[in-house]
Amino acid sequence: MHFTHKAFWFFIGVIALVLGLIGVFLPLLPTTPFLIFASACFMRASPRIHAWLIKHPYLGPPIVEWQACKTIKASIKKKAFVMIVLSFLLSIIIAPVLWVKFLLLVLAITLLYWFSTIPSS
């Protein structure tokens, strides 16, 4: 199956948007990063869908803030931080193998460090 670049970015954007929408209702899935990623994909694939996304009254403001200021609202950042810690903690508890637990711990620390470097608004 042959995909063009636009079709590829559209497909990835749809997946990111769906994951972001699921994250609205499922607290373990972060909404804002998926929406930002979906927006970046749709900028390449469909300017019309990108415009709809950034103008959406609920989904648009975090995307616009990221694009304009490279910041995330402090309340969203706090919720995401808690969800990252809880989801990795649960994954570490459930993981059956010690090296997987260690890998998850290293990934969690790396992700939390990176996430803490993003400025808050």
**In the chain, beta strands by DSSP E:** none
Top pLDDT among 24 and 9 is at 9
In this prediction, residue 30 has a pLDDT band, given cuts at 50, 70 and 90, of: confident
User: Burial level of 79, CB count in 10 A (0-12/13-18/19+)?
Assistant: middle
Write phi, then psi, for 72 (nearest 5 degrees). -125, 140
Contacts of 36 (CB under 8 A, 6+ apart): 62, 63, 66
How is the chain split into domains, by residue range? 5-69, 74-116
The mean pLDDT value for 98-115 works out to 92
In this prediction, residue 101 has a pLDDT band, given cuts at 50, 70 and 90, of: very high
Tokens standing for residue 109 = 């620390």
Q: Is the pLDDT of residue 1 over 50?
A: no
Smallest Cα–Cα separation from 76: which of 120, 37, 45? 120
